[in-house]
Amino acid sequence: MKTRKLGDTLEVSALGLGCMSMTSAYGPASDKAEMIRLIRAAHDRGLTLFDTAEAYGPFLNEELVGEALAPIRDQVVIATKFGFDISPTGERGLGLDSRPKHIREVVEAALRRLKTDRIDILYQHRVDPAVPIEDVAGTVKALIAEGKVKHFGLSEAGVETIRRAHAVQPVTAVQSEYSLFYRGPEAGTLAVLEELGIGFVPFSPLGAGFLTGKIDETTTFDPSDFRNIVPRFSAEARKANMALVNIVKTVAVPKGATPAQVALAWLLAQKPWIVPIPRTTKLHRLEENLGAVDLVLTPDDLRTIDEALSKLKLEGERLPEAFLETTGR
């Protein structure tokens, strides 16, 4: 497995594994024993970065990841997150909570669930406007000094927030949505990360599954699947946005690759410090995703994709507005 560096010092596999869908958001939770086998199979195939959060479940995902990785703890990088109003018994509040006291409570609980003595990357899951980012960064800085956290991360943070946090405690990684389906970080985030030497970890690198080419306007999602409320996943939007998948297929087919592999390879080609974390609950999809690491997109391939996308207007917003603020996506 090829590796990449997040920040100055953290070396990880070129792809990581997003574990959220194993317990939440994309339908009912998967069988725990099967997911433990899948996580360990991912490591056997060279993956070292595993992404979770207290909000996924809540708590169930951290417990799953902790149990799966306990036998190989020193060989992997575990990333988790704080920042939502979640009680110790798992009841979700309506908002955010990045008060220093709460951050410390979350970290202590996460360490127990993850069966570890340190968190490799601790992300603020969403920026809390009620708490100065300097206070958040300072709290994480203290946790790093205590050895409970190794690296500081931010999720879905704006440019000024990134700069202010980084001035207090160097940020190793920023995690935000980024893919051929949503290119928002190109508007300023990527330039700032390059300037400051911060790694980037795109979530939903396959557009919540749309870029696999396995979803069309006839696809039916489980009632508990969050995509049912996403404007970009309405039947009308899916039908219109198939034009994007067709663009990806024009590059994939001559290479004997899948649309998912091209979509991931496109991300990997953008910057050497980008490490996507595609989710999956299936071994054959994991192996398909891994094929992207060795898939070479030529300058002509990249130009073909970019020129075609410049003429395409995707239909539907990427998420409902309230979803960004009140969920652990």
What gap in Å lies between CA 302 and CA 289, rounded to an integer?
19
Q: Tell me what pLDDT residue 272 has.
A: 98
What gap in Å lies between CA 261 and CA 24, rounded to an integer?
24
Element (H, E) at 203: strand 199-203
Mean of the per-residue pLDDT values of the chain: 95
At 285 the three-state DSSP class reads: helix
Q: Look up residue 20 and give its two tokens.
A: 């959220």
Q: Residue type for 30, please? A: S
Q: What residues contact 288, with CB distance under 8 A and at least 6 apart? A: 258, 260, 261
Cβ atoms within 10 A of the Cβ of 130, count? 9
**Average pLDDT score over residue span 2-27:** 96
Q: Does residue 226 carry a pLDDT above 50?
A: yes
Q: With 0-12 CB in 10 A as exposed, 13-18 as middle and 19+ as buried, what is 282?
A: exposed
**Average pLDDT score over residue span 111-115:** 98
What gap in Å lies between CA 71 and CA 167, rounded to an integer?
36
For 132-167, write each residue's pLDDT tens digit: 999 999 999 999 999 999 999 999 999 999 999 999
Phi, psi of 145 (to 5 degrees): -60, -30
Residues marked as catalytic: 56
Q: Is-contact 78 60, C-beta < 8 A? A: no
CA angle (168, 172, 177) in 5-degree steps = 115
Q: Is the peptide bond before 299 cis (omega within 30 degrees of 0)?
A: no
Q: Specify the residue for token string 């992300």.
A: 123
Burial per residue of 232-243, b for 16 or more beta-carbon CB atoms within 10 angstroms, e otherwise: bbbeebbebbbe
What gap in Å lies between CA 105 and CA 127, rounded to an integer?
18
- Domains of the chain, each with CATH number or no CATH: 3-326 (3.20.20.100)
Q: Determine the angle formed by the axes of helices 100-113 and 60-69, rounding to 10 degrees.
A: 50
Q: Does residue 326 carry a pLDDT above 50?
A: no
Q: Tell me what pLDDT residue 328 has.
A: 44
Q: Does residue 325 carry a pLDDT above 60?
A: no
Q: What residues contact 183, with CB distance under 8 A and at least 6 apart? A: none
Q: Residue type for 207, please? A: G
For 290-324, write each residue's pLDDT tens digit: 999 999 999 999 999 999 999 999 999 988 876 65
For 243-281, write each residue's pLDDT tens digit: 999 999 999 999 999 999 999 999 999 999 999 999 999
